Structure 1
């Protein structure tokens, strides 16, 4: 697990946990749980990834979500979308079947608020607890154990999960009832979409004007224009490097959730809808796996 910032773990009693989904986010998150001293069993749809994780972190793997979740105090999950989430929770071999009464399912998937509410109802009917907890911070945040986690659900379940989840978090915050975490993640993605488009236009304008944009960003990054995107993506945007980071395909999935929710709640999102279409242009140009900062390629 690559990390540029060694994590210091808060002391907490070792717990038996499961982690479902070992993608670019889930694998290091599960790794931090193991490094913090918890007893971790993982499940991944592709078994070789689970075997590789087990060898690296000396944990355990299971053939199904239900088997991974058996006897666990907490089951963490980070998969692709609503359908994937239903499969690993409610499927024939889903985690909810294997979980013991009172266990807590913490979902880090960026999904819809509707499925968060649906799964909370299903969990309660089975004597389980559910927290929707999407994350922000990207692959680097997962690797460094410094994710920002936005939670929705029952306060008691949140409070129980927090000390364990801090193994991979810098902040783990309850924002309301079931679904509130997913809605907060949508707010996050709306803000990022506008910021990246603005930064793209600024850099492209400065380059067209003949400015040394590395120098310009160094200067304006000390003022009101500063942002995480500028600090972490400005230089690579100038250099035209996009083969890393949070993929355009993922961002479009997230913005689809945002725009669907806006239709339901009546929010007006003209800039977000426009940037979503700009990302469609990037996809059409072959940039499906490029970082979201590749919006600037449309302006070249």
Structure 2
């Protein structure tokens, strides 16, 4: 298929690479042309200078950018992807954004004769590099069937969560759960250190029981070593938790644990830790 990928950031760069390796004809776009040129030196494909040019001949257009405003720009702007795309083009957005912007873009796509799905991903940079992301999709089964061969290039699991917007709702639940797990893990690791437990043995034991989790196994040891310069940056998690809290408020819910974790992340960002992994949450305990 003719595929376009818009947004070659931490996630998009390797995701687009997997699509190219699978043999699809690929055109990429990135706000920084130098980044697009670098990608083309590493993978087979060409780059376009605007989202509109990237999308104009594509069967499927994939996007992975920063936030709601970025999405509106790359889709609806003067040189946006909707400007010259052909009728029937399927747009799939992998950005973690609001459910509202997903519905807005879906409506705009329908008015122009396009198809649209929101499809945020989980698995982080490592999942993107290794092609084992989990994709939560809002859209129709028909559109998912059309996209499956492309999604399989970088995903280990794809799940249809319901209509457009539900993919973003599912991703919000994912981020809320991660915040809670990291909060408990931070306290557990600090407790274990004070108790002079051997962290590696502890993690290897607990991972097989009811307390086992990806975070415990992959972040517990590095948290104990004060190693945080990798992984999913807390400035991104703060953005994601802001989406969760805003959506919860609209639904009349309060999320006290999520609010506390988000405030801790804000304080850590103010310390200059914005690019460190979400597991740096353990450092917030040092001030309590």
Q: Assess same fold via TM > 0.5.
A: yes
Match of 1:104 among 90, 93, 110: 90
Aligned to 2:237: 251
* Residues 170-185 of structure 1: pairs in structure 2 closer than 5 A: 170-185=156-171
Contact kept? 1:153, 1:176, Cα under 8 Å: yes
Equivalent residues in 2 for 1:108-119, closer than 5 Å: 108-119=94-105
Q: 2: distance between equivalents of 1:35 and 1:98?
A: 27
2:122 corresponding residue in structure 1: 136
Alignment of 1:128-277 (within 5 A): 128-277=114-263
Give the TM-score of the pair, scaled to structure 2.
0.98
Is 1:121 aligned with 2:107?
yes
Give SS of 1:79's match. coil
Match of 2:284 in 1: 298
In the alignment, structure 1 segments of 5+ residues that lack a partner are 1-14
Aligned length in residues: 286
Secondary structure of 1:98's match? Answer: coil
Q: Secondary structure at the match of 2:197?
A: coil
CA distance in 2 between partners of 1:31 and 1:133 (Å) = 18
Deviation per CA, 1:111-144: give whole Å up to 9, x if none: 0000000000000000000000000000000001
Please list every run of 5 or more consecutive structure 2 residues that lacks an aligned counterpart in the other structure: none
Q: Please tell me whether residue 90 in structure 1 is matched to residue 90 in structure 2.
A: no
Shift of 1:173: 1.3
Alignment check: 8 A CA contact 2:59 2:90 kept? yes
CA contact (8 A) 1:113 1:183 kept: yes
Task: State the secondary structure of the residue aligned to 2:232.
Answer: coil
Q: CA deviation at 1:172?
A: 1.3
- Cα shift at 1:58: 2.0
Offset from partner CA, 1:59-97 (integer Å, 9 cap, x none):
100000000001100000000000000000000000011
In structure 2, distance between residues paired with 1:209 and 1:284: 31
CA contact (8 A) 1:214 1:238 kept: no
Tell me, what secondary structure is at the counterpart of 2:83?
helix
Cα-to-partner distance string for 1:211-230 (whole Å, 9 max, x where unaligned): 22222112112211100001
Matched residue SS, 1:95:
coil
Runs of 4+ in 1 over 4 A off after TM superposition: none
For residues 208 and 14 of structure 2, what CA distance do their matches in structure 1 show? Answer: 32
